Amino acid sequence: MYKSFDLTLFDSESMGLMNIGEQDYNAYNRSIDKLRNLFLRNLFSDLGLRNEVGELEASSIKEKWFPHDKNYDVFISHSHKDIELAKKLACWLKKEFNLNAFIDSTVWGYADDLLRQIDDEYCVLNKSSDSKKIYDYDKRNYTTTHVHLILVSALREMIDSCECLIFLNTGNSVKLSNSMHKETDSPWIYDELQSARFIRKRKGKREIVKTVDRSISIGQENNPIVNYDVDKELLNLKKLNVYMLIKWQQRCSRNKENGIPEHPLDVLYKLDTMI
């Protein structure tokens, strides 16, 4: 990863932000659905993730459920409640700049589905009288730790391989605490922002590729809320807003008209000097 951005959006801006036409957005969603359906058919056919003595292999699980594709330019960090906005941003990035954005839930398998498959095989104590499964609490803690660690590892590898990260800073992802600290109740957002703070900074090779996008979400509706202070993480991100996105688009259009061969991400990196 080379650069990271804090894209602050308010509800009024989020709704019409990218001005993506319905036809473009529907085509984008169809391309995602087509790829994801093919991926899921292969995913659920069989675990097939064991070594010669029948033990589960973490590297095989990560490769099958969370494959590391280096054909992405931008990692979009977002709240699972902002998935439509994230997809809209990814569609806009592709249409305007031919940049491929990674949204984990649209590309990868779901960690909860993987965990259920493993738990159904290894953690069931017995079935109750109403045929509901009863799981061993300690074994489930053990399997959950492993699955989440594998997912975190895959996310960090993807962030490292993308040239830049854009964090969708909305009311769904970050809130202001009573002590005036910026906090998130998503452990996934916290880890992604912390990874952006500590991960190595390098531009890497650029390749023009054809791809789609995706993201992981774990339902929190009935779970206890744990808040993470992200003040330090957000200070590490370069500020971005709607007006800067418009400026970015205009500058790239002008470059194209004038035959200036400047990569769209290089234009983005120089935004603060253009305003």
Let me know: does 238 contact 4? Beta carbons within 8 Å: yes
CA dihedral 240, 104, 203, 250 (to 10 degrees): -40
CA dihedral 161, 167, 172, 178 (to 10 degrees): 120
Pairing of strands 182-184, 228-229: antiparallel
Whole-angstrom CA distances from 201 to 1, 59, 197, 204 are 5, 25, 9, 9
Residue 40 pLDDT exceeds 80: no
The domain ranges of the chain are: 3-110+147-240, 242-275
Query: pLDDT-based confidence at 192, cuts 50/70/90?
Result: very high
The percent of residues above 70 in pLDDT, for the chain, comes to 81
Query: pLDDT-based confidence at 222, cuts 50/70/90?
Result: low
Residue 156 confidence (pLDDT): 94
The percent of residues above 90 in pLDDT, for the chain, comes to 39
Q: What is the mean pLDDT of the chain?
A: 82
Residue 17 pLDDT exceeds 70: no
Residue 127 confidence (pLDDT): 65
Residue 214 confidence (pLDDT): 32
- The mean-pLDDT minimum among 45-49, 75-79, 80-84, 175-179 falls in 45-49
Residue 14 confidence (pLDDT): 55
- The mean-pLDDT minimum among 73-87, 129-143, 187-201, 205-219 falls in 205-219
Residue 215 confidence (pLDDT): 32
Taking every pair of C-alpha atoms in the chain, what is the biggest distance, in angstroms?
A: 74
Residue 48 confidence (pLDDT): 62
Instruction: Tell me the three state secondary structure of residue 250.
Output: helix
Identify the bridge partners of residue 102 per DSSP, sorted by sequence position: 75
- The mean-pLDDT minimum among 38-47, 162-171, 209-218, 219-228 falls in 209-218
Residue 216 pLDDT exceeds 50: no
- The mean-pLDDT minimum among 21-35, 50-64, 142-156, 208-222 falls in 208-222
Could you report the per-residue pLDDT of 73-111, keeping only the tens digit for each? 999 999 999 998 899 899 999 988 999 999 998 888 788
Query: pLDDT-based confidence at 6, cuts 50/70/90?
Result: very high
Query: pLDDT-based confidence at 233, cuts 50/70/90?
Result: confident
Q: At what angle do helices 242-257 and 83-97 cross, to 10 degrees?
A: 20
**Residue 52 carries which DSSP code?**
T
Residue 152 confidence (pLDDT): 94
Radius of gyration of the chain (CA): 20
Let me know: does 43 contact 64? Beta carbons within 8 Å: yes
Per the model's pLDDT, the better-predicted residue between 102 and 25 turns out to be 102
